[in-house]
Chains A and B, each alone.
Chain A
Amino acid sequence: MFSGERVTAGCLDVAVERERDLDGGTPVIRYVFGNRCARAAVVDLAHANVVGRTANGNEVILTPFDPKHEIRALELDGRWVGSETLAYPVEASLAQVCVDAGSITHANAQWVCFARSGS
């Protein structure tokens, strides 16, 4: 279940994985998070720092596809686990996508980067 790059940030164990892009090159990131603490921890996928890099080195700040405006910071109960899969629509073709896993729980930055997957 915790496949991909694993990061411990605050109380959270976070696994971040880039899945196969959607048609049109929209990157898809799957997050799995487990709370190793007994108390609740913040999981803020709305404000997670996600950056895409094009082949020529330009950086693009990515925001998740959220047509229903559902994505928001929530609390994950102690000893609990959850997962979400988010798409990040972008017009440019991205060679790399980087996620600050620490920002998911408002902790110190811990970047993990992924090259284009699938296809």
Chain B
Amino acid sequence: MKAALVLVAISGTALAGHSGGSSCSHGSGGGGHSGGGGGGYSSSNSSSSSSSSSEPASHGCEETTDIEGYRECMRFGMWANNMVLPLVFIETGSAFRRFQTLAGGTSTVTHGDESFAFRVVGPRAHIDSAVTWTARFGVGLPHGLYVALEGEAGGIVSPIATGASMETTGTFGSPDLAAQKAMVIGGSAVAGVWTNGEVGALGVEAVGGVRNVMTSFDSTYYDCEQSASVSETRGVLEVRARGEVWVNPWVSIGATVGSSVIEHDDWMAGIYVGMRSRAYGGLR
């Protein structure tokens, strides 16, 4: 009964919003405490204790008491908000990708009054490497299932193998086009299942979406220099495995590897940090 209670505020997480309480002042009957508050908690038998409860302001509302039924700003049970709402999670990280060079797109470049059509060409079976920043927002479902939307953006980091094949000529022939850089943008829907262990979680998931590679070219036509870009979009269908360890009950860091099920030599590996609205993803 005399076990000391150690309260650790969960700092640096997006979960502070689940803490109840308010910045309201407290008057009669309240004893100077905030009511309906919530926050991260750990207990131990140590003799030290400290406490903290984040207290977001209630806009335009001044409490005179924290007693339920008399207070006006906060409703009962704000400490349970994260259990009432669906489990949500966000993740951000970085991924390294290898995929076949996307070529075949067409575009035009204009020099003065002349426009030149060109097509992006690349070596057969060439593999590009890309590094992307990834972000994901998801919702947990019963039985460890989850769905998410994922986006990524980055660039090709391997030497750009694509070139331009001019399809039209002008008065002085054709411009010289040289690929400069290639950006990668992708968007996917994710469905998966995960299970929790002692220190972390493991999951498998299916990912379907699109990947767009936009290659920028510098075009030189005599002393005239212009730039042009070509986008090529392909479908993506991957299976991935992922594992993560809990940094605290609401934050994890993890790694994922995946492979395309529709393309050869198309795979990815990534790392991420994730935050969940329930302790240990609600899996324990």
CB-CB contacts below 8 Å: A1-53 with B: 1-2, 6-8, 13, 15, 17, 19-20, 22, 28, 30, 34-40, 43
Looking at B31-39, B174-182, B264-272, the stretch in contact with chain A turns out to be: B31-39
Is B210 interfacial (CB-CB < 8 Å)?
A: no
Q: With the chains together, A36 CA to B278 CA distance in Å? A: 14
Instruction: Tell me the smallest distance from the CB of B260 to a CB of chain A, in Å.
Output: 36
Given contacts A2-B51, A78-B284, contact A83 B279 (CB under 8 A): no
Query: Digit string of B20-63 for contact with A (CB within 8 Å is 1, else 0)?
Result: 10000000111101111111111100000101110000000000
* Contacts A75-B83, A80-B38, A80-B41; A28 near B3 (Cβ below 8 A): no
Asked whether A74 lies within 8 Å of B36 as measured between CB atoms, the reply is no
A61 within 8 A of B: no
Q: Which of A19, A34, A84, A85 contacts B7 (CB 8 A)?
A: A34
Q: Given B29, B34, B42, which contacts A87 in the complex, CB threshold below 8 Å?
A: B29
Chain B interface bracket (under 10, 10 to 19, 20 to 34, 35 or more):
35 or more
Contact B33 A38 (CB under 8 A): no
Please determine whether A71 and B3 come into contact, CB atoms closer than 8 angstroms. Answer: no
Indicate whether B75 reaches chain A with its CB closer than 8 angstroms. yes
B69 within 8 A of A: yes
Selected from B49, B52, B77, B284, the residue in CB contact (under 8 A) with A39 is B284
Q: What is the CA–CA distance of A2 and B33 in the complex, to the nearest angstrom?
A: 11
B76 located at the interface, meaning its Cβ lies under 8 Å from any Cβ of chain A in the complex: yes
Contact residues in B for A66 (Cβ distance below 8 Å): 68-69, 76
When C-beta atoms are compared, the residue in chain B nearest to A35 turns out to be B41
Assess whether B41 is in contact with A71, with CB atoms less than 8 Å apart. Answer: no
Q: Does B80 contact A (CB under 8 A)?
A: yes
B174 CB to nearest chain A CB (Å) = 65
Q: Please judge, given known A-B contacts A30-B33, A38-B279, whether A70 and B76 are in contact too, CB under 8 Å.
A: yes
CA distance A19 to B32 in the complex (A): 10
Query: Could you list which residues of chain A lie within 8 angstroms of chain B, going by C-beta atoms?
Result: 1-2, 6-8, 13, 15, 17, 19-20, 22, 28, 30, 34-40, 43, 64-68, 70-72, 74-87
B contact set with A: CB distance below 8 Å: 1-3, 5, 7, 18, 20, 28-31, 33-43, 49, 51-53, 66-70, 75-80, 82-84, 249, 278-280, 282, 284
Top 8 A-B pairs ranked by shortest CB distance? A82-B79, A1-B51, A78-B279, A81-B41, A70-B76, A74-B80, A34-B41, A36-B43
Q: List 28 A-B contacts (CB under 8 A).
A: A6-B5, A13-B5, A19-B31, A30-B31, A37-B284, A39-B279, A40-B83, A40-B278, A64-B68, A64-B69, A70-B68, A70-B76, A71-B77, A72-B76, A74-B80, A74-B84, A77-B18, A77-B83, A78-B249, A78-B278, A78-B280, A79-B42, A79-B249, A80-B38, A82-B38, A82-B80, A85-B31, A86-B67
